[in-house]
């Protein structure tokens, strides 16, 4: 019996000694007691380890593959993804600092070095370095034109203004490209992109833009896949502002244009519209947008050459273009007697010289000009007829459908 007691005491002494000298599983140096009341020796503090994806020395990595870094038994102190001439790849760290992921697309044909520093439960730093290379680009595409812009429209535009992008090459991976077209606004807006063809994609809100909204469009296209072997050349940013809300409405039956600014009527102008007879001589009904303001415009008869019956070539002043089929709101001193009572034009909206001078001065590119009463409808692709499509029709040609803009911080 005495030997057993002595042995038990020896085991207890060893357990206590281990408890005083070892570190706990949670990194502390204190022992713990299990549910049976026995003293359990703590484990040693864990050292940090890091897992990186893509794997070290991986090649032909797609440019849109996310770079992911995670820490085990510790937290991440820093992560850097250096692409040399391609630049650093930005990313975001999780709230608990155990995971990091890239937030932008890598450049094609680049080699990236991932350097991460983690701190383990034992307080020690662990640095890991790995590299990977991305797939090479066979071709590149770029933004050829963007509207609005400083030269053609000015950077303060009307509430109907779409964002219009033209690419220099056909784009077939529409999802990848559209995902990287980011619209910011200072007021909440729901909108969507719409592909007219493989080179043209436009954005409009569900309804008109809120007046006095600041907008930024970021085309984050550097390295973005646009098709088989096709990648974006660069990022492009556009900043513009929506001005006051001005909407003009006119009727080919009532022969009058009414201008409302921020909901208040500010001008009424007698008008004369297309005389009809032939389809091309009807003014189109629908939601037009002001496309350009021209002090002088040379107008010629549509589809009729010099020497043919009905041919004309006129110099017209103070014109606001509203379609691609030759429709303008413009000064027409020769039809003042008909303005307000009858339609005598070849499709344009005629107003008096004084009203035309006021209208061109007070119109922003992108202001809606709505004409009703004509049997000829404005086609969505005739100029900027974007608002001629219902929201359901607009979304039919969107790859990612509707979504909110990103609010400025």
Could you tell me the CA-to-CA distances from 246 to 76, 94, 157 in Å, in that order? 53, 46, 10
Distance in angstroms (rounded) separating the CA atoms of residues 358 and 229: 52
Distance in angstroms (rounded) separating the CA atoms of residues 211 and 203: 17
Residues in the chain, total: 409
Q: Return the active site residues.
A: 330, 348
Q: Are 271 and 351 in contact (CB under 8 A)?
A: yes
Q: Are 240 and 215 in contact (CB under 8 A)?
A: yes
Could you tell me the CA-to-CA distances from 291 to 36, 152, 168, 244, 334 in Å, in that order? 83, 9, 22, 17, 25
Output the 3-class SS for 217-228: EEECCCCCEEEC
- With a CB cutoff of 8 Å and minimum separation 6, the contacts of 39 are 15, 16, 19, 31, 32, 33
């Amino acid at each position: 019996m005495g030997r057993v007691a002595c042995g038990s005491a020896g085991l207890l002494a060893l357990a206590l000694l281990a408890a005083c000298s070892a570190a706990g599983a949670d990194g502390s140096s204190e022992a713990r007691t299990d549910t049976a009341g026995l003293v359990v020796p703590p484990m040693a503090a864990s050292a940090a380890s890091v897992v990186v994806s893509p794997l070290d020395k991986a090649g032909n990595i797609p440019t849109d593959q996310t770079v992911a870094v995670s820490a085990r038994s510790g937290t991440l102190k820093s992560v850097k993804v250096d692409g040399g001439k391609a630049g650093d790849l930005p990313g975001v760290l999780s709230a608990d600092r155990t995971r990091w992921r890239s937030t932008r697309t890598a450049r094609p044909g680049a080699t990236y070095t991932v350097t991460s520093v983690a701190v383990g439960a034992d307080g020690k730093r662990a640095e890991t370095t790995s590299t990977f290379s991305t797939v090479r680009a066979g071709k590149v595409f770029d933004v050829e034109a963007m509207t609005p812009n400083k030269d053609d429209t000015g950077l303060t535009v009307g509430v109907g203004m779409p964002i219009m992008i033209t690419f220099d090459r056909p784009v077939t991976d529409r999802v990848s490209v559209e995902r990287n077209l980011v619209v910011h606004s200072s007021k909440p807006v729901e909108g969507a992109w719409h592909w007219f063809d493989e080179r043209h994609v436009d954005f409009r809100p569900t309804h008109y833009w809120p007046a006095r909204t600041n907008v930024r469009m970021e085309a984050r296209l550097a390295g973005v896949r646009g098709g088989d072997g096709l990648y974006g050349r660069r990022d492009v940013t556009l900043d513009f502002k929506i001005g006051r809300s001005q909407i003009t409405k006119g009727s080919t039956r009532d022969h009058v244009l009414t201008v409302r600014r921020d909901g208040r009527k500010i001008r009424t102008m007698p008008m004369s519209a297309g005389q009809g007879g032939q389809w091309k001589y009807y003014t189109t009904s629908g939601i037009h947008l002001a496309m350009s303001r021209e002090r002088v415009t040379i107008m010629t008869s549509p589809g009729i050459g010099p020497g043919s019956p009905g041919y004309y070539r006129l110099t017209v002043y103070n014109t606001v273009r509203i379609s691609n089929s030759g429709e303008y709101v413009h000064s027409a001193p020769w039809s003042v007697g008909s303005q307000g009572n009858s339609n005598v034009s070849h499709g344009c909206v005629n107003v008096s010289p004084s009203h035309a001078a006021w209208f061109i001065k007070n119109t922003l590119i992108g202001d809606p000009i709505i004409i009703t009463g004509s049997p000829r409808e404005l086609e969505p692709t005739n100029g900027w007829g974007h608002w001629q499509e219902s929201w359901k029709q607009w979304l039919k040609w969107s790859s990612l459908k509707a979504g909110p803009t990103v609010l400025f911080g």
